[in-house]
Amino acid sequence: MRSSTCSAVSATRIRPGQGRSDRQRGEGAVFLTPGRPLKQPFRPTGAGPNALCVVLAVGLCAGCASLQADDDRQARRVTPVVEAFRKAKPAVVNISTTRVVTYQRSFGFDGLFDDIFGRPSPGRSRRYKTTSVGSGFVIHRDGYVVTNAHVVARTTERKIGFVDGTERPADVVAIDTENDLAILKVESDTPLPFLKLGRSDDLMPGETVIVVGNPLGYGHTVTTGIVSALNRELYFSENVVYRGLIQTDAPINPGNSGGPLLNVLGELIGINTAIRGDAQNIGFAIPVDHVHRLLPRLLDIERLRRVSFGIGFGSNVDNHGVAGVLVDRVASGSPAGAAGIRRGDIITEIEGHATPNFMEAFGVLDGAPPGKILVFRVAGENGRVKAVKLALAEIPKPDGEKLMLDRLGVRIRELTRRERRELGLRRSGGLLVKQVQPGSQAFKKRVEPGDVVTKIGGRPVGTLDHVGHLLEAYDRGDIIRVGFIRIGRHVSIHVELTLKAR
């Protein structure tokens, strides 16, 4: 038997008597796979078996050409919007949240606490869970996520959904309701894809913008529009005003909040935050330059890691080719001050890692253990660069019980698991009021021993450590929102009071 081969397909001539007869198969029939003859018998001509390779090669080339044509056709349709979406998509996340809402009959607003605590409630309070969706995006490979404050405020559970379908729980690291920004943290065994923060000081009305998010739960939806206007103000109430917003006509719907607004280069230029419900195609985004300004405060490494080295970071700078993070503050008597670092200096490297922006500096510091000595490269105002060694000194944990008594005149203790179960509280929520100092604001507002503290500054508390971390951020004269529950035999009353720190 003779056989002939081509580079792509092997053709084999079947010997007479193998399987069906040659008459059944057709003399010299050729099979591309065993037992599957061509629909029409192939009868070689004087050209010999090599003619078969020519026929097959022509067919294969035609198929390859067709595939190539399809690829070329699709490639010609790839617009800057498609490229920007493909670039950003892995870093955009869907956020699903759960809130516990308590409904109770109201007595009116005047003397609310006195009315509630002064006489029995005529009806039972009811608690139920509500769920909502929002959007966000990863800004650092270690799992830090930006979203709107209103997406995660007063939530008890948060889940982050990624483009590959995986979900991870998230903790709130920092929240700024005044600017409607929040930072979440998710744990990951591998570095996560992230978006680099762009700039918004050069935006042009009329330029194309791209919205990516989770509208109404439809994950990773992309819409487009233009910059309609800049520096808009949005009034939610007398006390809540957002300023300097980007206005866009890109379709934004409930669930888009917290997602990225991109330009056609795929650069992050804003965070989608609100729409006008009484209009069409009027949406608003927080400029990314606001995020640059707020991140050093929201991700204060000394507060989050409980370490001290004396530097307060400012915005990113690029001064005559020297790129880094501005030193905005140097604490008096700190290691940084003793090492000669001054306000206005620029941090260009930490431990050999370039720090062209705050998030790069934060990433290095966040991964360093307390007590470690780090090498900072610092560019002074005279342009000279020096290496400075600074240790991350560990800060002792604050005493939550003492701070609560000193700031608010309320002595508290942690609840046991049994007490929480008997009071009908969730596993990690609440601290018991043991004593209220006479003359304190809490005393005047009728807080009593046996009440339960559930929130401070809008954040749930369940341990004295939680209380300490939250209260140490308040100074004398600051207003603190404190949530209380009074649990009776037949009814539980939930109230939020505003108390002035002493």
Active site residues per annotation: 150, 180, 257
Closest-CA residue to 483 (of 427, 438, 445): 445
Q: What is the dihedral of CA 61, 64, 65, 66, to 10 degrees?
A: 130
Crossing angle (nearest 10°) for helices 400-408 and 464-471: 50
- Give CA–CA dist 387/66, Å, rounded: 60
- Give CA–CA dist 260/263, Å, rounded: 10
Query: What sign does the CA torsion over 26, 30, 36, 41 have?
Result: negative
Neighbours of 415 (CB within 10 A): 20
H helix intervals, 128-221 = 149-152
Residues 6+ apart with CB under 8 A from 479: 498, 499, 500, 501
Residues 6+ apart with CB under 8 A from 491: 120, 121, 123, 124, 125
DSSP-assigned beta bridge partners for residue 226: 208
- Give CA–CA dist 288/269, Å, rounded: 5
Neighbours of 91 (CB within 10 A): 22
Residues 6+ apart with CB under 8 A from 382: none
Tell me if 470 sits within 8 A of 459, measured CB to CB.
Answer: yes
DSSP labels, 290-307: HHHHHHHHHT-HHHHHTE
- Give the 3-state DSSP-derived string for 98-154, with helices as H, strands as E and coil as C: EEEEEECCCCCCCCHHHHHHHCCCCCCCEEEEEEEEEEEEEEECCCEEEECHHHHCC
Q: Counting every residue, how long is the chain? A: 502
Q: Rounded to an integer, what is the distance from CA 493 to the centroid of its chain?
A: 34
Q: The tokens 């404050």 sit on which residue? A: 149
Tell me if 370 sits within 8 A of 345, measured CB to CB.
Answer: no
Distances (CA, A) of 143 to 15, 87, 173: 65, 18, 11
312 three-class SS: strand
Q: The tokens 């067709």 sit on which residue? A: 66
